[in-house]
Amino acid sequence: MNKKPLIGITATQEKGDSPASYQIGRHYVKGIAAVGGTPVILPLLQDKEQIKEMAKRLDGLLISGGVDMDPLIFGEEPHPKMGRIDPERDFFEKNILENFLEEDKAVFGICRGCQIINLVLGGTIYQDITSQMDSELIKHSQNAPRWYPTHSIEVEKGSKLSKVLGDGKIKVNSFHHQAIKEGAPGFFVSARAADGVVEAIESKNGQFLVGVQWHPEHLWERDQKTLALFRMFIDHSRR
**Annotated active-site positions, please?**
111, 215, 217
Mean pLDDT of 185-189: 96
Total-model pTM: 0.96
User: Please, which residues bridge with residue 188 across strands?
Assistant: 202
For residue 17, name the pLDDT band (cuts at 50, 70, 90). confident
Mean pLDDT of 15-22: 84
Please give the pLDDT value at position 112. Answer: 97
Strand 187-193 to strand 38-42: parallel, antiparallel, or no bridges (unpaired)? unpaired
pLDDT tens digits, 162-176: 999 998 999 999 999
For residue 11, name the pLDDT band (cuts at 50, 70, 90). very high
Mean pLDDT of 82-108: 96
Edge to edge, the sheet with strand 209-212 lists 38-42, 6-10, 60-63, 106-110, 209-212, 198-203, 187-193, 151-155, 168-172
| Alpha-carbon radius of gyration of the chain | 17
All domains of the chain in start order, with CATH: 6-238 (3.40.50.880)
Mean pLDDT of 219-225: 96
The dihedral built from the CA positions of residue 144, 148, 154 and 155, taken in this order, carries a sign that is: positive
Contact 101, 62 (CB under 8 A): no
Q: What is the mean pLDDT of the chain?
A: 95
